[in-house]
């Protein structure tokens, strides 16, 4: 029972992290993305030379959306999973909650200076949530089925 509360606390803390990131004004968020993009491009050039196309800031920002919600999906699955509720139901419920949070996050951004709402971001976030929950489901499946076959 205590484990479930810890997992729920992790979900709440991750949602708080997402909320704080979404609360940053546009120029602050863009500055962080621009700095990270420049570092990533320098590292790629150092490792691969001119054989690689530079990473765009837009691509990096969308990847960050996906990653934030991938983690949320995995955390939601862990918080919601129980032996009584079979795995794919937990994946679906994780997707529902993660998708709803993505919608509220975009509404929140509408009120943040220099930020805007984006339906595309909700889709990216929902895809991240789904794949995060599926990845966690796969790990649970492999762990439980691996023990049975041993």
Average pLDDT of span 22-38? 74
Residue 150 DSSP class: -
Average pLDDT of span 9-18? 96
Average pLDDT of span 98-122? 94
Residue 44 has what pLDDT?
A: 67
The model's pTM is 0.84
pLDDT band at 108 (very low <50, low <70, confident <90, very high): very high
116-123 own/partner pairs: CB under 8 Å, 24+ apart: 121/62, 121/65
Per-position b or e across 67-81, b if 16+ CB within 10 A of its CB:
ebbbbbbbbbbbbbb
Mean pLDDT of the chain: 86
pLDDT band at 150 (very low <50, low <70, confident <90, very high): very low
User: Which residue ranges make up each domain of the chain?
Assistant: 2-149
pLDDT above 70 coverage of the chain, percent: 86
Q: What residues contact residue 77 under an 8 Å CB cut-off, 6+ apart?
A: 90, 91, 94, 132, 133, 136, 137, 140
Q: Identify whether the C-beta of residue 22 lies closer than 8 Å to the C-beta of residue 112.
A: yes
Q: What are phi and psi of 82, to 5 degrees?
A: -150, 155
Q: What are phi and psi of 85, to 5 degrees?
A: -100, 110
Residue 1 has what pLDDT?
A: 63
Q: Identify whether the C-beta of residue 126 lies closer than 8 Å to the C-beta of residue 101.
A: no
């Amino acid at each position: 029972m205590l484990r479930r509360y810890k997992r729920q606390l992790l979900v709440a803390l991750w949602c708080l992290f997402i909320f704080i990131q979404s609360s940053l004004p546009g120029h602050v968020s863009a500055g962080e993305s621009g700095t990270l993009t420049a570092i990533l491009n320098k590292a790629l050039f150092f490792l691969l030379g001119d054989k690689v196309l530079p990473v765009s800031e837009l691509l990096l920002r969308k990847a960050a959306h996906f990653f934030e919600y991938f983690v949320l999906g995995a955390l939601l699955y862990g918080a919601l999973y129980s032996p009584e509720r079979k795995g794919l139901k937990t994946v679906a419920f994780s997707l529902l909650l993660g998708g709803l949070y993505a919608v509220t996050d975009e509404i929140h951004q509408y009120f943040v200076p220099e930020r805007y709402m984006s339906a595309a971001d909700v889709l990216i976030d929902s895809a991240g949530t789904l794949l995060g929950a599926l990845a966690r489901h796969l790990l649970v499946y492999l762990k439980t089925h691996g023990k049975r076959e041993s």
